[in-house]
Amino acid sequence: MMRISMRKVDGAQPEGNDNFVGSRQGFVIVEVIVAMVLLAIAITSLAAMLYSVSQSGMIATGSAYRNGVLMNEVNRLEGIPYDSIAVGTASFSESAAPYPHTRVITVTEPVAKLIKTVRVVITPTNAKYKPDTANFIRTLARTSKALCTVGC
């Protein structure tokens, strides 16, 4: 005698397990949810690291500009004649990109006609950058008698 079965035969379903198809579909949804959560955690940690690297790069760039402005001002003040450096305080603001800042130059003369102390303060407009200060001493150059040829 021949038996006819009314069940749909699926190649993926092993014989004798009628609940296999339904339980496998539920398991696939759980796998997708777990994979999405793991992907979200990985992307969030990468985004945090990218933000941190970006901030560090921006601070390093600001420091490089600040150091350049400070060195330029110190070199300028060291290169001009002693008598051309006026005693007092002067402030300059630079609002142009790439490094808007304020320079404050303070010159004092503790020993008249012999020593001047110079203080240069660079304060960036952007609060993420730190201000910087340079202090140095200028002295009156003494002429050498060996170079003096007339009326020394």
pLDDT in tens, the chain (152 residues): 556 655 555 555 555 555 555 555 566 888 889 999 999 999 999 999 999 999 999 999 999 999 999 999 999 999 999 989 999 999 999 999 889 999 999 999 998 888 999 999 999 999 989 999 999 999 987 765 656 666 65
Residue 86 contacts residue 108 (beta carbons within 8 Å): no
Do the bridges between strand 132-139 and strand 115-124 make them parallel or antiparallel, or are there none, so unpaired?
Answer: antiparallel
Element containing residue 136 per DSSP (H, E) = strand 132-139
Pick from 143, 128, 109: nearest CA to 58: 128
In the chain, the largest separation of any two C-alpha atoms, in whole Å, equals 142
Burial string for 10-31 (b: 16+ CB within 10 Å, else e) reads eeeeeeeeeeeeeeeeeeeeee
Question: Distance between alpha carbon 81 and the CA centroid of its chain, in Å?
Answer: 37
Write down the pLDDT at residue 112: 86
* CATH architecture for residues 36-139: 2-Layer Sandwich (3.30)
Element housing 138 (H / E): strand 132-139
What pLDDT does residue 140 have? 84
**pTM of the predicted protein model:** 0.64
Look up tokens 């003040």; give the residue.
Answer: 77
Answer whether 120's CB lies under 8 Å from 74's CB. yes
Pick from 111, 110, 109, 113: nearest CA to 88: 109
Task: Record the tokens describing residue 64, joined without a space.
Answer: 């490089």
Task: Quote the pLDDT of residue 70.
Answer: 94
